[in-house]
């Protein structure tokens, strides 16, 4: 089972040039409680090549959303950047096995 | 006192619904506020001090807003003018405004709020311990600051209020926070501070906080206990979910938002549907702190030339990675022997479009593409060197064989010449705040009469 099979949508976007933020819209309270419990912060950190303690995590029951913010793997627009808006990183999380 | 703010869209040039704008104007707003930019598109705009939007598109939308302002008889303000909010783009926006004033027969008082920072001011702040890094921040030095092509500070509500105090009909502001142009007037009139900042954050992307994001136009009523938000397009509904979910957007923290004089805390916010279209929000808190403005800076990190080849030959598609690795080794030797350039004096990278060009080393899926695009990126200290490397590698990117005993292959080049000189590569070089004793100490205001 992948994250995307359990949720409405996974979205990512820069939060300024130095951060990317990933929103998992679960859609229902049931999906939220499943995903919130099964998604491990350290697995998400590994997925994005960062350290667990640098990941900010917000489990927002009112919105049925799990949100992760991580320092961008590379600064927006630097020579190594491959995705100026950071919107494609969402798919890594969407395709992660739960 | 209730303050009604009309926000035509999330950014000038994104488009807005004309009928929705007219409806907003008919509600007699106290001010019309729109954003003119952000760092969303990358460092080029700030680095070069240019708008990313076409002048013609900017002028046509600004014309509509200047007409709306004349009808409403209230101030019109744009923040972060010209995408990056440098002094040069403020003046670019001023020129467009003066042209339109003459064309429309409007006589106007135009205030310009300048946000560009001389490097020496930031160096002084650094020496006095008033420059603080935000994680993750690049290293800074006096020399590095002097090498930046543009540094701007993000103005807050205080500087916008100073511009409003000039009695200007139109305010063209340089870099501001996304929220400052919307929050300034409600705060000036004593509306609830937490509500003012929260409502401004909800409205700063226009109708993105509604069920019809592209319709643009939003009206926010601020008062002494919170705010009420409504979208102006018939089909755009603001619901507690659409409004509260907007705090997630492009925010690394959905509950705390830092501004120059403190931060907004929305953990206590309660979102209530007044009816099918309008949402009431109360309970957000403003927490004052040391006055500091965020800085943005960009510098040239080299000059680039690119080349694009497409592999369709199934043998090369299947072995694309091995091919570019061999090619890169070969080219580095060629560049060393023919140009005398050491490997650390330039950058040469090939990205495989169809394999992992978006995610790079983070990619964990494999497929069997029909074709693979090979995007070669050369980065060097000068454009001339990057272009010369591009020309040197061109025939090999076209013909390099995977094995020695095969006939020379020829890949697909989509255009001639195969190389493209991209100009300067800019990079963001600051993620810092600068503490100020007086909000206007790092900003300038001028007022000019334009039109007839």
Rounded to whole angstroms, the Cα distance separating B49 from B84 reads 7
Is the pLDDT reported for residue B256 higher than 90? yes
Q: What is the pLDDT of residues B63-103, one digit of tens each?
A: 999 999 999 999 999 999 999 999 999 999 999 999 999 99
Mean pLDDT of all residues belonging to chain B = 97
- Give the pLDDT confidence score for residue A79 in this predicted structure: 95
Where would I find the H helices in B40-191? 44-48, 55-72, 87-104, 119-127, 142-146, 157-164, 180-188
With both helix axes pointing from N to C terminus, report the angle between B87-104 and B55-72 in degrees, rounded to the nearest 10: 60
- Give the pLDDT confidence score for residue B368 in this predicted structure: 94
Q: Quick one: which of B293, B282, B288 has its CA closest to B125?
A: B293
Handedness of CA B271, B246, B187, B283 (dihedral sign): positive
Rounded to whole angstroms, the Cα distance separating B216 from B220 reads 13
Asked if A49 and B361 come within 8 Å (Cβ–Cβ), the reply is yes
Residues spanned by the domain of A44:
3-94
Q: Quick one: which of B202, B201, B182, B160 has its CA closest to B3?
A: B182
Contacts of B34 (CB under 8 A, 6+ apart): B7, B8, B9, B11, B12, B65, B76, B77, B78, B79, B181
Give the domains, in start order, of chain B with CATH numbers.
Answer: 3-115+154-291+436-451 (no CATH), 300-428 (3.30.70)
Rounded to whole angstroms, the Cα distance separating B427 from B383 reads 16
Chain A residues with CB-CB distance to B under 8 A?
A: 13-19, 21, 23, 47-49, 56, 58, 60, 62-63, 65, 67, 69, 71, 73, 75-85, 88-89, 92, 95
B256 contacts in chain A (CB < 8 Å) = none
Rounded to whole angstroms, the Cα distance separating B174 from B55 reads 17
Q: What is the pLDDT of residues B222-239, one digit of tens each?
A: 999 999 999 999 999 999
* DSSP 8-class letter at B56: H
Q: What is the pLDDT of residues B345-354, one digit of tens each?
A: 999 999 999 9
Identify the bridge partners of residue B348 per DSSP, sorted by sequence position: B378
Pairing of strands B218-222, B226-231: antiparallel
Is the pLDDT reported for residue B404 higher than 90? no
- Alpha carbon distances (Å) from B203 to B4, B54, B126, B250, B362: 12, 24, 34, 14, 35
Contact at 8 Å (CB) between B51 and B58? Answer: yes
**Torsion angle of C-alpha atoms B361, B365, B366, B370, degrees rounded to 10:** -100
Handedness of CA B19, B23, B24, B30 (dihedral sign): positive
Q: How confident is the model at residue A53 (pLDDT cuts 50, 70, 90)?
A: very high
Rounded to whole angstroms, the Cα distance separating B51 from B285 reads 35
Domain count for chain A: 1
Note which residues in 369-428 of chain B have CB less than 8 A from chain A.
377, 379, 425-428
User: To the nearest whole angstrom, how far is the Cα of B416 from the nearest Cα of chain A?
Assistant: 25
- Give the pLDDT confidence score for residue A84 in this predicted structure: 97
Is the pLDDT reported for residue A20 higher than 90? yes
- Alpha carbon distances (Å) from B387 to B132, B336, B378, B379, B411: 39, 16, 8, 9, 21
Rounded to whole angstroms, the Cα distance separating A42 from A45 reads 5
Nearest to A75 among B41, B251, B427 (CB): B427
Contact at 8 Å (CB) between B128 and B436? Answer: no
Assembly ipTM: 0.96
- Give the pLDDT confidence score for residue A73 in this predicted structure: 86
Asked if A18 and B357 come within 8 Å (Cβ–Cβ), the reply is no
């Amino acid at each position: 089972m992948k994250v995307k099979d359990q949720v409405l949508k996974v979205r990512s976007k820069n939060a300024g040039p130095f951060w990317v933020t990933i929103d998992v819209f679960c859609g229902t309270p049931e999906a939220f409680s499943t995903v919130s419990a099964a998604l491990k912060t350290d697995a998400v950190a590994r997925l994005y090549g960062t350290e667990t303690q640098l990941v900010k995590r917000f489990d927002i029951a009112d919105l049925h959303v799990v949100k992760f913010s991580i320092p961008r793997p590379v600064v927006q627009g630097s020579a190594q950047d491959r995705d100026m808006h950071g919107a494609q990183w969402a798919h890594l999380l969407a395709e992660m096995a739960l | 006192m209730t303050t009604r703010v009309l926000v035509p869209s999330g950014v000038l040039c994104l488009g807005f619904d004309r009928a929705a704008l007219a409806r907003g104007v008919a509600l007699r707003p106290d001010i019309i506020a729109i954003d003119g930019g952000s760092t969303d598109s990358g460092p080029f705009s700030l680095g070069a001090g240019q708008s990313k939007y076409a002048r013609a598109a900017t002028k046509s939308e600004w014309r509509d807003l200047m007409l709306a302002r004349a009808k409403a008889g209230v101030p019109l303000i744009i923040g972060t003018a010209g995408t990056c909010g440098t002094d040069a783009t403020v003046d670019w926006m001023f020129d467009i405004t003066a042209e339109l004033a003459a064309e429309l027969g409007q006589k106007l008082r135009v205030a310009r709020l300048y946000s560009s920072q001389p490097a020496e001011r930031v160096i002084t702040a650094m020496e006095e311990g008033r420059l603080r890094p935000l994680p993750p921040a690049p290293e800074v030095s006096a020399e590095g600051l002097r090498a930046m092509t543009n540094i701007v500070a993000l103005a807050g509500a205080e500087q916008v209020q100073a511009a409003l105090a000039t009695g200007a009909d139109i305010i063209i502001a340089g870099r501001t926070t996304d929220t400052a142009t919307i929050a300034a007037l409600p705060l000036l009139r004593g509306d609830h501070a937490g509500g003012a900042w929260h409502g401004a954050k909800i409205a700063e992307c226009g109708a993105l906080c509604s069920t019809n994001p592209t319709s643009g136009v939003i009206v926010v009523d601020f008062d002494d206990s919170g705010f009420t938000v409504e979208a102006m397009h018939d089909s755009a509904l603001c619901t507690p979910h659409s409004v509260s979910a907007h705090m997630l957007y492009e925010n690394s923290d959905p509950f705390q938002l830092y501004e120059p004089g403190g931060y907004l805390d929305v953990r206590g916010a309660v979102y209530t549907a007044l009816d099918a279209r309008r949402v009431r929000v109360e309970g957000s808190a403003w927490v004052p702190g040391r006055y500091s403005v965020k800085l943005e800076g960009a510098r040239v990190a080299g000059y680039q030339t690119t080349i694009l080849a497409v592999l369709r030959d199934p043998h090369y598609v299947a072995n694309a990675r091995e091919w570019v690795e061999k090619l890169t080794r070969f080219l580095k030797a060629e560049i060393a022997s023919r140009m005398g350039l050491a490997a650390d004096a330039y950058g040469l990278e090939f990205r495989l479009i169809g394999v992992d060009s978006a995610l790079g080393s983070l990619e964990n899926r494999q497929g069997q593409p029909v074709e693979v695009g090979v995007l070669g990126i050369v980065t060097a200290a000068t454009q001339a060197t990057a272009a010369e490397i591009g020309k040197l590698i061109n025939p090999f990117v076209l013909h390099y064989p995977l094995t020695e005993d095969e006939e020379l292959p020829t890949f697909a080049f989509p255009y001639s010449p195969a190389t493209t000189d991209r100009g300067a590569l800019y990079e963001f070089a600051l993620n810092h705040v600068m503490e100020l004793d007086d909000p206007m100490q790092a900003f300038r205001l001028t007022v000019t009469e334009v039109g007839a």
